[in-house]
Amino acid sequence: MTSSRADGAQAPAASVDQPGPTPLTLTPGKPIRLARGALIAEVQPGCGARLSRLARRDTRGDLFDYLVPLGNEPFSSDEWPKAGAFPMLPYTNMLRDDTLHWRGQTIAVHETPATSSSLHGWGLRRAWEVVDESAHCCVLQLDSPAQPEWPWHYQAYLSVTLDEQGLDMQLSLTNLSAQEMPAGLGLHPYFRWPAGARVTFESEALWRSPSEDIRWPSEQRVHVGPMEVVSVGGGLDTGGRSTWFAEVPTESGRFDARIDYAGGLRSATVRSDDATWLVLHSPAGRPYLCLEPSTHRVGEFDTDHEVLAHGQTLDLSMRIDLA
């Protein structure tokens, strides 16, 4: 991860006048299938580089899905299925008012008519190119020229590697513009979260949004330490709020969040050494749980971001250990 910050130089002007390349609809195709031991994974390069399935096959041939499977139906790039796992770039989650304030410029970051908001950036909405593939690993590339909604040219790579114990996702973002670019990365898995499942994690501090109408952290900071939440079929707290924002523990400098499924026979542990925030998201009544490692605080990208000079790269990793 880089550590440079803005220096007050002038922002670049948009270099193109056409709307961005985000399609209105994404259609799953033949996936890249990875296998190692009893584990299988599927990746959909044409659907935002999504990890569309992550499962274990038992001795009877039955599959246990850790992630909600994506399925085969076309979907809107603005209203995607709550399934699989996708990359977030060149920033994570949502910018306030869909606007970036950058060195004296105000940039409206969402593309119309393809998107109604800036949620999660563009990586999940576009087709990626396969640049390498084997029985247990694939590497995807996204080249994104400058456009009015994001006046920088960047290139991203996502590698997905499966082994007998779990899966690694490595995401990188490189600035190809002459001007410095603000940058942030995230990964967004939808784990199955049926009633009786339990998540345990530790954080330095936990932030909550004051209501479901406000989708970023409030100013109420609470020291947390170890936390445990048991699913009742969706939701995180009795206040009805679906989203928590956890700061990385200072002592370890890494996230470890573990989901144990009812019966104690299956578990999934998310680890990241590069993230400074972990977003936990589970709406009431929806049996999925998102554990999203991110490099910056949600809603504060104007001030909380990395700055990439020409040719500089930002990295984010996520390891999912499976039992």
- Integer Cα distance of 273 and 276 in angstroms: 9
Query: What spatial distance separates the first Cα and last Cα of the chain, rounded to whole Å?
Result: 29
Confidence of residue 233 (pLDDT cuts 50, 70, 90): confident
Q: H/E element holding 270?
A: strand 267-272
Q: What separation in angstroms does the CA of 81 have from each of 48, 50, 124, 235, 311? A: 12, 11, 12, 18, 34
- Give domain status of residue 267, yes or no: yes
- Give domain status of residue 175, yes or no: yes
Interval 100-137: pLDDT, tens: 999 999 999 988 888 888 899 999 999 999 999 999 99
- Integer Cα distance of 159 and 1 in angstroms: 16
Asked if residue 22 lies in contact with residue 110, where contact means CB atoms within 8 angstroms, the answer is no
Interval 21-44: pLDDT, tens: 899 999 999 999 999 999 999 999
CATH of the domain at 286: 2.70.98.10
Distance of CA 77 to the CA centre of its chain: 15
Asked if residue 31 lies in contact with residue 10, where contact means CB atoms within 8 angstroms, the answer is no
- Give domain status of residue 170, yes or no: yes
Assess whether the previous peptide bond of 87 is cis (omega < 30° from 0).
Answer: no
- Give domain status of residue 142, yes or no: yes
- Give domain status of residue 261, yes or no: yes
- Give domain status of residue 112, yes or no: yes
Interval 172-190: pLDDT, tens: 999 999 999 999 999 999 9
- Give domain status of residue 18, yes or no: no
The answer, yes or no, to whether residue 204 has pLDDT greater than 90, is yes
Residue 45 corresponds to which tokens in the numbers above? 């390069």
3-state helix/strand/coil string of 240-264: CCCEEEEECCCCCCCEEEEEECCCC
Q: How many domains does the chain contain in total?
A: 1
What domain range is 160 assigned to?
28-322
